[in-house]
Amino acid sequence: MAIQRHKGLADDVYGAIFNKLISLEIAPGARITVDGLVRELEVSQTPIREALGRLEGEGLVVKTHLVGYSATPQITRRHFDELYELRLLLEPDAARRAARRIDEGNMRKLTETAEQMRRLDGSRERRKYSAFARLDADLHDQILAIAGNELVRDTLAHLHTHFHIFRLMFHASVTEDALSEHESLLVALSSGDEDGAERAMREHIDRSRRRLLLAFV
């Protein structure tokens, strides 16, 4: 689908390629040709190379000398297990801290993000699936920001955990199940329930892990 030329062209090109990667339209490990994207999106090489550079920084694209670009291979079962082990160590405690520190402004922003995700619920459209993945990452990052430990936040952001996880499986149930878990988490946060927030985050991460284990069967 051609990208219309306007001021936000670079962001639109990035978004178009990101959608293809998250929704598996570009398969993990597949070669990505700049010329092919030029023809498909009907833009010059410059915004495409800029977008691929951004995606390389997010761990979704690999650039190999004398070969070019390719989609990052799918994460291994070992990497998957390690990511979830790390999340279970860090994020439940962050949710507890966030419940202690949250204010009305924080809560309003979290609620708005959750509502945007709800509007995408159940969609099997690839573009909406990738939008859900980005919002999911944003919701978790907001909670980490409220918790106040920037080292933990930066560590998880650097791993781009959510993008790799959502790329494991393109399926509406991945989004549907997450919504009710987010709702329980936000209820605990809004009431300042530290134990409840920690428990809700732990259950959410553990259920996410069990849902996505099917990708390795």
pLDDT in tens, 127-186: 788 888 899 999 999 999 999 999 999 999 999 888 888 888 776 567 788 899 999 999
Residue 2: pLDDT band with limits 50, 70, 90:
low
- Residues in a beta bridge with 63: 69
Overall pTM > 0.85: yes
pLDDT of 4:
53
Which domains does the chain possess? 9-71 (1.10.10.10), 77-216 (1.20.120.530)
* Residues 91-98, mean pLDDT to the nearest whole number: 98
**Percentage of the chain with pLDDT > 70?**
92
Please tell me the distance from the alpha carbon of residue 174 to that of residue 179, in angstroms, as a whole number. Answer: 9
**Percentage of the chain with pLDDT > 90?**
72
pLDDT of 23:
86
20 and 50 Cβ atoms separated by less than 8 Å: no
> CA nearest 137: which of 211, 213, 208?
208
Task: Give pLDDT tens digits for 185-208.
Answer: 999 999 999 999 999 999 999 999
